[in-house]
Structure 1
Amino acid sequence: MPSIDDIDHRILRALLRDGRGSFAEVGSEVGLSASATKRRVDRLVRAGAIRGFTAVVEPHAMGWDIEAVVQLYTNGTVPFETMRADLTELTEIVEAVTVAGAADAMLRVVAADVPHLERVISRVRGLPYVQQTDTTMLLSVLVRRPNVPQTPAVDVSG
Structure 2
Amino acid sequence: MDVDDIDRGIVTALQRDARATFAEIGAEVGLSAPAVKRRVDRLVASGAIRGFTAVVDPAALGWSTEAYVEVSYSGVVSPRRLTQDLGALPEAVSAWTVSGAPDAVLQVQTRDVRHLEEVLQRIRGLPDVTGTQTEIVLSRLFQRAAVPPV
Coarse TM-score class (shorter-chain normalised): 0.7 to 0.9
Q: 1:147 aligned to 2:145? A: yes
TM-score, normalization by structure 1: 0.80
Alpha-carbon distance, 1:97 to partner: 2.3
Structure 1 spans left out of the alignment, 5+ residues? 153-158
Does structure 2 conserve the Cα–Cα contact (< 8 Å) formed by 1:13 and 1:148? no
The number of aligned residues is 150
Alpha-carbon distance, 1:136 to partner: 2.1
- Give the Cα–Cα distance (whole angstroms) in 2 for the partners of residues 32 and 49 of structure 1: 20
Q: Structure 1 stretches (4+) deviating beyond 4 angstroms?
A: none
Change over 3 Å in CA distance of 1:109–1:79 after alignment to 2: same
- Pick which of 143-152 and 56-65 moved more: 143-152
Structure 2 spans left out of the alignment, 5+ residues? none
Alpha-carbon distance, 1:32 to partner: 1.3
- Give the Cα–Cα distance (whole angstroms) in 1 for the partners of residues 81 and 22 of structure 2: 36
- Give the Cα–Cα distance (whole angstroms) in 1 for the partners of residues 87 and 69 of structure 2: 15
Equivalent in the alignment of 2:24: 25
TM-score, normalization by structure 2: 0.83
- Give the Cα–Cα distance (whole angstroms) in 2 for the partners of residues 33 and 130 of structure 1: 54
Change over 3 Å in CA distance of 1:32–1:113 after alignment to 2: same
Alpha-carbon distance, 1:151 to partner: 5.1
Aligned residues with identical type, % of pairs: 52
Equivalent in the alignment of 2:74: 75
Aligned-residue RMSD, C-alpha: 2.3
Structure scoring higher RCO (CA < 8 A, sep ≥ 6) equals 2
Amino acid at match of 2:147: P
- Give the Cα–Cα distance (whole angstroms) in 2 for the partners of residues 136 and 61 of structure 1: 22
